[in-house]
Amino acid sequence: MDSKQNGKRTLMDYCPDIMIMDCTMRDGGLVNNFEFTDAFVKDLYQANIKAGVDYMEFGYKASKDLFDPKEFGKWKFCDEKDIRAVVGENKSSLKISVMADVGRCNYKKDILPKKDSVIDMIRVATYIHQIPAAIRMVEDFKRKGYEVTVNIMAVSKVNTDDLDAGLSLLASSSADCIYLVDSFGSFYPEQVTKLSQKYVEVAEGAGKIVGMHAHNNQQLAFANTIEACRMGACLLDATVSGMGRGAGNCYMESLLSFLKNPKYDEMPVIRFVEEHILKLKAEGVVWGYDIPYLLTGILNSHPSSAIHFINSNRTDYCRFMQELLDVE
Amino acid sequence: MDSKQNGKRTLMDYCPDIMIMDCTMRDGGLVNNFEFTDAFVKDLYQANIKAGVDYMEFGYKASKDLFDPKEFGKWKFCDEKDIRAVVGENKSSLKISVMADVGRCNYKKDILPKKDSVIDMIRVATYIHQIPAAIRMVEDFKRKGYEVTVNIMAVSKVNTDDLDAGLSLLASSSADCIYLVDSFGSFYPEQVTKLSQKYVEVAEGAGKIVGMHAHNNQQLAFANTIEACRMGACLLDATVSGMGRGAGNCYMESLLSFLKNPKYDEMPVIRFVEEHILKLKAEGVVWGYDIPYLLTGILNSHPSSAIHFINSNRTDYCRFMQELLDVE
């Protein structure tokens, strides 16, 4: 990591260690019930390759015992055959990722040995109290031959002692990467500075890297992502036009144009917006910054109430804020 | 300025020296030709008072020799009688500001002595090469009894030597405040860090304060504003829902909720959004982040071509990017 000086990067650095993860289908799938057209998926795959994106997350590996496949698009389950229908043997520079939630994935059965799969990376999403269960999954996936990350969700609600203990457990695990996740879009950049430093310190001591996954409730997803990057995070999540639950994520277009490594090119992604995202929005698929998400972000709350508010076509924001405060 | 330590503030600081400027009608007026309804203006004035906002900018003091009053709403000219029709004698804590562009304001005639005006502050908008002309205006306004700021526009295109020379001239002037302005929304937070430090150093040495005016081309207006604030900027510009030319500005809702001084309250502004901004948007008034603004922001270009692109209902972003690159 020649590009870092004292753990901080500068704007003009080339930074060959930085990698980008496109999670449009995974976080965006939460918006449209994972019902992407085949053309959308194939074109996104090609756009990511052309743009120099490093990883593309196709969706979740959700348990079919817990979730009825008739009620969701296929990318909630990411069957091997469905991924292969898009990527074949994936003879490309783009690696393939899926997400496995602790407690919602039949991982012993549904995650094949790597030699039988076109998937490269499994990302384990966990709450802080599930970390021991997450580590059991990590070790299983590593034994099977995958790259593995652990994404600790909702850390903005976790106290420092618990977070330190969780990070320490993960440092001793076989995970390749630990993710800083701003689930509620409640962090300001200076909080990201400190948390990134903490994560990087723990991870580097254990030979791991740090990832960043931001939400846009306060229109800070991009700013927080590049701040984490500046402090040493290497694996940066983004989605096309920020598509993702509620206020959505860091915009891929912005992130690609920010990075100075010439392997990245935002134009294939912008062309994808022209061809697919505008249509999706015209069809009424809704995500992105709006006042209800700002309010849940300010209060460090789960966005579900804001999603419900917007889906109900309500615009009485002040009353909504009072409802949120009543619950807090 | 007890709240600053080594020129840097922390998130939890109370910071009594920070002041907020609402420029919804001035920057937002560029979107709707300054044609706000009287109810809009009166309710915004009341919302700002309730929210604890420090300054409200009503619009420009444009020369009626250069601009035909029949072609613009009245807030392009901000006649004394029009402001008084809203604020009376302005018996409130909210101060009133107007903007005067160098070369576009009949300032000797149109800016009355302070004793005859309800206006508190004049902001002089200048390009770097106009600074001597700006200073002549500053001295006139100070003699007349006003608070005066100088807003150097388009600094992202100014070389360091010229900027240093311009700042040095302003340091010797009677201006109360020097503004860092990201006209093209092209700055990343770490550039704002350095520029804010430079401005604060020059200004503090001369007994002045620094202001920040950001644009949202890269969805960084809020992030850049709070970064400038962290580095010591005291007078922070924002507009309701970011209303302003092109990609718009820092969102007032976000800024108010960020600041810890209990005099600030975002809810009156959010109620104003409910009552007025949603209607404005429904009527087809357009501003805010969009890909064409991202592209001009990336290229550090004036947003006018992006505004034209959007008004033409074009969505061929990739071709637009090529057109921008041809011009560069």
The string of pLDDT tens digits covering residues A198-238 is 999 999 999 999 999 999 999 999 999 999 999 999 999 99
Percent of chain A topping pLDDT 70: 98
What pLDDT is recorded for position B2?
A: 38
B169 close to A (CB below 8 A): no
The pTM of the full predicted model, rounded to 2 decimals, is 0.95
Q: Is A89 exposed, middle or buried (0-12, 13-18, 19+ CB in 10 A)?
A: exposed
A318 vs B220, B223, B267: nearest CB: B267
Beta-carbon contacts of residue B321 (< 8 Å; ≥ 6 apart): A267, A270, B295
Which pair of structure tokens corresponds to residue A124? 């384990």
B273 vs A316: CB contact, 8 Å cut-off?
A: no
Spatial distance between the Cα atoms of B170 and B168, rounded to a whole number of angstroms: 5
Confidence bin at A14 (pLDDT 50/70/90) = confident
Please list every residue in chain A whose beta carbon sits closer than 8 Å to the beta carbon of residue B10.
190
- Name the helix (H) or strand (E) containing B99: strand B95-101
A298 close to B (CB below 8 A): yes
What pLDDT is recorded for position B7?
A: 56
Residue of A nearest to B277 (CA): A315
What is residue A176's DSSP assignment?
S
Confidence bin at A5 (pLDDT 50/70/90) = very low
Confidence bin at B101 (pLDDT 50/70/90) = very high
- Name the helix (H) or strand (E) containing A197: helix A189-205
Q: How far is C-alpha A148 from the chain's CA centre?
A: 14
Q: How far is C-alpha B193 from the chain's CA centre?
A: 19
B230 close to A (CB below 8 A): yes
Please list every residue in chain A whose beta carbon sits closer than 8 Å to the beta carbon of residue B227.
189
From residue A73, how far is each of A33, A117, A240, A286 by CA, in Å? 6, 21, 19, 17
Number of helices and strands (H, E) in chain A?
15, 8
Residue of B nearest to A269 (CA): B318
Confidence bin at A260 (pLDDT 50/70/90) = confident
If you average pLDDT over residues A161-183, what whole number do you get? 98
What pLDDT is recorded for position A314?
A: 96
From residue B40, how far is each of B25, B71, B121, B271, B310 by CA, in Å? 10, 20, 22, 12, 26
A273 vs B223, B230, B317: nearest CB: B317
Tell me the per-residue pLDDT of A276-303, one tens digit each, with 9 for 90 and over: 999 999 999 999 999 999 999 999 999 9
Q: Which of A173, A87, A96, A95 is nearest to A134 (CA)?
A: A173
Contact between A253 and A270 (Cβ < 8 Å): yes
Neighbouring C-beta atoms of residue B261, cutoff 10 Å: 16
Q: Is the pLDDT reported for residue B164 higher than 50?
A: yes
B258 close to A (CB below 8 A): yes
E runs forming strands in B134-291: 147-152, 177-181, 209-213, 235-238
Please list every residue in chain B whose beta carbon sits closer than 8 Å to the beta carbon of residue A11.
188, 190-191
What pLDDT is recorded for position A67?
A: 97
A299 close to B (CB below 8 A): no
B318 close to A (CB below 8 A): yes
- Name the helix (H) or strand (E) containing B95: strand B95-101
A254 vs B321: CB contact, 8 Å cut-off?
A: no
Neighbouring C-beta atoms of residue A75, cutoff 10 Å: 25
Q: Is the pLDDT reported for residue A6 higher than 60?
A: no
Residue of B nearest to A230 (CA): B190
B294 vs A227: CB contact, 8 Å cut-off?
A: no
For B281, the 3-state DSSP assignment is: helix
CA distance, residue B229 to nearest chain A CA (Å) = 12
Percent of chain B topping pLDDT 90: 94
Q: Is the pLDDT reported for residue A1 higher than 90?
A: no
B267 vs A316: CB contact, 8 Å cut-off?
A: no
Amino acid letter for position B327:
V
B190 close to A (CB below 8 A): yes
Spatial distance between the Cα atoms of A58 and A152, rounded to a whole number of angstroms: 20
If you average pLDDT over residues A257-262, what whole number do you get? 92
Which pair of structure tokens corresponds to residue B44? 């915004």
Residue of A nearest to B224 (CA): A223
Amino acid letter for position A152:
I
B189 vs A220: CB contact, 8 Å cut-off?
A: no
Spatial distance between the Cα atoms of A134 and A292, rounded to a whole number of angstroms: 32
B223 vs A11, A220, A321: nearest CB: A220
From residue B102, how far is each of B21, B139, B152, B255 by CA, in Å? 20, 13, 11, 29
Tell me the per-residue pLDDT of B231-262, one tens digit each, with 9 for 90 and over: 999 999 999 999 999 999 999 999 999 998 99
Phi, psi of B318 (to 5 degrees): -65, -40
B11 vs A190, A216, A318: nearest CB: A190
What pLDDT is recorded for position A62?
A: 98
Residue of B nearest to A217 (CA): B254
A226 close to B (CB below 8 A): yes
Residue of A nearest to B221 (CA): A219
Please list every residue in chain B whose beta carbon sits closer than 8 Å to the beta carbon of residue A271.
317-318
Mutate to test the interface with A, among B265, B317, B323 (most CBs of A within 10 A): B317
B114 close to A (CB below 8 A): no
B230 vs A190, A191, A220: nearest CB: A190
A270 close to B (CB below 8 A): yes
Please list every residue in chain A whose beta carbon sits closer than 8 Å to the beta carbon of residue B220.
222-223
Confidence bin at B3 (pLDDT 50/70/90) = very low
- Name the helix (H) or strand (E) containing B223: helix B221-230
A317 vs B274: CB contact, 8 Å cut-off?
A: yes
Confidence bin at B180 (pLDDT 50/70/90) = very high
Domains, chain A, ordered by start: 19-282 (3.20.20.70), 291-327 (no CATH)
Spatial distance between the Cα atoms of A45 and A96, rounded to a whole number of angstroms: 10
B215 close to A (CB below 8 A): no
Q: Is the pLDDT reported for residue B1 higher than 60?
A: no
Phi, psi of A236 (to 5 degrees): -110, 125
B325 close to A (CB below 8 A): no
A317 vs B216, B257, B273: nearest CB: B273
CA distance, residue A111 to nearest chain B CA (Å) = 38
Please list every residue in chain A whose beta carbon sits closer than 8 Å to the beta carbon of residue B300.
none
- Number of A/B CB contacts below 8 angstroms equals 93
B267 vs A291: CB contact, 8 Å cut-off?
A: no
Contact between A25 and A58 (Cβ < 8 Å): yes
For the residues of A37-66, what is the DSSP string, one character each? -HHHHHHHHHHHHHHT-SEEEEEE---TTT
Confidence bin at A328 (pLDDT 50/70/90) = low
